[in-house]
Amino acid sequence: PLQPGQCLTIEPGLYIPDLEPQFGALRGIGVRIEDDIVVTEQGCHVLSAAAPVAIGEVEGLVGVA
């Protein structure tokens, strides 16, 4: 079981194969959104909660893709 103070990362990802022509311009890309979590006595706390995830917010930080 998880214990208070332990940290973990939740990392869902989407990867579009480069082999399928129906994906067009999206062929061969991968997207991963991560959340860093710390277990607390009351449950959990999402350490990355303030990190931008909306396209406009991310592009504002790193530039347009």
Give 65's pLDDT tier (boundaries 50, 70, 90): low
Question: How many other β-carbons are positioned within 10 Å of the β-carbon of residue 63?
Answer: 7
Q: What is the pLDDT of residues 16-57, one digit of tens each?
A: 999 878 889 889 999 888 899 999 999 999 999 998 888 889
User: Does pLDDT of 64 surpass 80?
Assistant: no
Q: What is the pLDDT of residue 11?
A: 93
